[in-house]
Structure 1
Amino acid sequence: MVRIWMNRALLGLGWGALVTGIVGIVLYFGAFRQREIPVLLASGASYLMLGAIVGLLLFLLARGWRSAVAAGLVVAGALWTQLPIFVADGRAAGNGPVVTVLQSNLLFGGADVTQVVRTVREDRVDLLTVEELTAEAVTRLDAAGIAELLPYRYVETASWGAGTGIYSRYPLRDTRKYDGFVMNNLGAVMEHPQRGAVAVFAFHPMPPPLDFEAWNSEMRRIRDILDATTGPALVGADFNATRDHTAFRDLLRSGFASAAELVGAGPLPTYPTDKSWGPLIGIDHVLISGGSAEEVRAMTVTGSDHRAVLARTRLNS
């Protein structure tokens, strides 16, 4: 009798866990761009999918074989969405020059920029994209020696989190601040001595919890910008979106790829680092078009609520 009730309890818990996993898959594939709550929940879709694995284990313990088969199918669906981020893309590596990109959100300009500059120096970073860049942070970056390492820049500073900057080892031209954004979103052309013109971007759409409509329209605007880009390109961004968002995956439809996925770096969580339970989600990304990636890693920056992302990319010749 005890065994029967125990099995029923395990089956009940298993179905609760399985439904959670199904919700995660629905959030991953669902086109919920116009609905705020599903979009916010989609940030953690991969965590919800773990419920399918828990459900499968509970069904096996309860010897609920038909339920276990159902759970197995859901687990297969979850693995199909998540396994690619752990496996290197396999495409042929670029045969052109290496360009190392560092992406960092400075949290209202208050992060320890000496760490950022140290990383630029030690890892021979060629392109630095920064968000939440204030005028005071620019002064501190200069004092730390950024101009000696990356002498070319295009910065649009602002208070709060609206400022953005691009620092480059190589000359920048055709700099532009894009219309249609609440915060500063920037583009330029980097003249690489070996590869020639390379489009570079620093994006920072609004966080959806603060202004969902703005985030929604700005992600579409970024997609349009990338769709119109030809030739090699590099993007450093705090997209306020994870790979579980369809709005982020839409950015990859016109030849761009996530550097982290190219090398199989896993989920690479970057936010929030100012909480004891973080970071949980990966919203900072480096994208590349016309090349591949050889190494991607995230690093903590004191005073920021984001981890920085360093990507060693190789452009096609």
Structure 2
Amino acid sequence: MTDPDRGSGADSGAATGPVVVRRWRRRLPRASRVVAGLVVVAAVAVLLVPDRLGLDQTLPFVGFVLVRAPATLAVVVLALLALAVRARWWPTVVPVLAIGAVAAAALVPRLIPDGPGPDPGPDIVVMVQNVDRGSADVPALAAVLRERRPDVLVLPEAGEPFRARLAAAIPELGYRSWSSVPVSEPDAVGTTVFAGPSLGDVRVTPVPARFPWLELTGGALGPTRLLGAHLASPVPDLIDVWPAELASLARWCAPGTGPAVVVGDLNATADLRAFRAGSAGCTDAGDAAGKGLLATWPAGLPRWLGAQLDHVLVGGGAGVDGFDVVEVPGTDHRGVLVTVHVQG
């Protein structure tokens, strides 16, 4: 005789097993979608706002910050396309767009011109052109100098060999020139400064750095100190040196240090906390002109794709008016030309 209760229990167990399996099969894809969405959101945050996460002094994240503008544009476009294709992806797309908005909010002010800066005294035109280990085309650079006639030219990655070649190409312009390193050193580690006759009797002082800098004072600069600099790059061998050199910019930019102009390849953008801290008190000429997102590196890519590593910063009452990017063959950097109002 069959026990009714036992029979019904066996039937119930047989029916419950497949139901539980089916439920877990439904839950697993849902859980995997949630995990995938979280991974996407985290990856976008690391890509677009590593400085907000404290990662912008660590490799490889510092490299992400240097291309924040094109990366933000790409992420926002892709997120909107994803939302148009699959509206049900909104739980992932909305946080991604929020992160994109945070990144864009840091970029937009650099596209809005401030107008001319204070004009306390004489105007000088300054130019910076990284010559890529002395490989820039000397005749082409000489032609730019004849046309634009900057009062000060700062050449990162130019030592004594490049200084001599360029000086020989433009004797009629009357420039005086100095290299931060002796002739025995290669161009890659030097910074060269050319000063036009309009500056008068300026004094040149070496400034110790990984790639030694030069400071100009006196003459037509008056009380203004002008620094020609090439900061260390955020690469594996120099990542420990790089933030310290950015911090040292406070010697020229911090309140109370007097009028100053910093001209050079600073290997950083305003997206980096170390750059913002070191340059606090200075005005970036590119940002002031609404051209802070024009890339000066790498020169082989369009100007909207890359990073503005070459800067002119002014502080202590000096002002800026005008910002132009120039092209010189043979180097991976574009040059920058800026009119600076110094205190006479």
Assess same fold via TM > 0.5. yes
Consecutive unaligned residues of structure 2, counting only runs of 5 or more, are: 1-33
State the TM-score, normalized to the length of structure 1.
0.82
1:112 to 2:126 alignment: no
Change (3 A) 1:58 1:277: same
* Alignment partners' CA distance in 2, 1:56 and 1:17: 14
- Counterpart contact for 1:113–1:141, Cα < 8 Å: yes
- Counterpart contact for 1:191–1:197, Cα < 8 Å: no
Percent of residue pairs identical: 25
The equivalent residue for 1:300 is: 327
The equivalent residue for 1:46 is: 69
1:55 to 74, 79, 86: 79
* Residue type of the alignment partner of 1:294: D
2:227 to 201, 225, 235: 201
| 1:93 Cα offset (Å) | 4.2
* Alignment partners' CA distance in 2, 1:107 and 1:59: 44
| 1:163 Cα offset (Å) | 1.0
| 1:189 Cα offset (Å) | 0.7
The equivalent residue for 1:102 is: 127
The equivalent residue for 1:178 is: 207
1:144 to 162, 166, 169: 169
- Counterpart contact for 1:86–1:261, Cα < 8 Å: yes
CA RMSD of aligned residues (A): 3.2
* Alignment partners' CA distance in 2, 1:128 and 1:33: 31
* Alignment partners' CA distance in 1, 2:67 and 2:78: 16
**Per-residue CA shift, 1:219-247, capped at 9, x if unaligned?**
22333454387332222111111222222
| 1:133 Cα offset (Å) | 1.2
* Alignment partners' CA distance in 2, 1:30 and 1:133: 36
**SS at structure 2 position matched to 1:197:** coil
Consecutive unaligned residues of structure 1, counting only runs of 5 or more, are: 1-10
| 1:261 Cα offset (Å) | 0.4
- Counterpart contact for 2:117–2:320, Cα < 8 Å: no
* Alignment partners' CA distance in 2, 1:56 and 1:33: 27
**Per residue, is there more strand in 1 or in 2?**
1
* Alignment partners' CA distance in 1, 2:55 and 2:96: 25
2:270 to 232, 243, 258: 243
* Alignment partners' CA distance in 1, 2:59 and 2:266: 16
* Residue type of the alignment partner of 1:248: F
Greater shift, 59-68 or 259-268, is seen at 59-68
Count of residues paired in the alignment: 303
State the TM-score, normalized to the length of structure 2.
0.76
